[in-house]
Amino acid sequence: MAYDRNRELGDRCAFCLGCGWGRRFMGAAVDTVPQACPDCGGRVLAACPACDAPIVSLMGITCRACGEPLRDPELFGVEIRRKPEKVVADTLSVDAAPVPDDNVTRSR
């Protein structure tokens, strides 16, 4: 079994829509996340408002489950740096049909 760092740090996230304050927590501890930001008093988001899927990245911009935006991609005029997010719609699109010898090198 591989080591899962998220189990140590928390497997879910919540962040403030106003100032960007964020916190990781374990899924069962969602009640410990404040509704209002302790820094600015803004709204703290712990799940997607559209589908109620958990947020798993503090840098999340869109929901991984439904693709709906969670917040603006900029905070204080600076782009939130993140890896591209895997959205359900992206995983379903395919360029072409699979070929049996893809990624196979043949010597002649």
The domain total for the chain is: 1
Q: Residue 18 and residue 81: Cα distance in Å, rounded?
A: 17
Could you report the per-residue pLDDT of 3-35, keeping only the tens digit for each?
Answer: 666 567 788 999 999 999 999 998 888 888 999
The model carries a pTM of 0.66
Domain that holds residue 60: 5-92
**How crowded is residue 58: how many other Cβ atoms within 10 Å of its Cβ?**
15
Per the domain annotation, does 19 fall within a domain? yes
Is residue 56 situated within a structural domain? yes
SS3 54: strand
- Per-residue pLDDT tens digits for 59-68: 888 898 998 9
CA 43 distance to own-chain centroid: 18
Position 107 in a domain: no
The answer as to whether 21 is a domain residue is yes
| Residue 24 CB-density burial (10 A; 0-12 exposed, 13-18 middle, 19+ buried) | middle
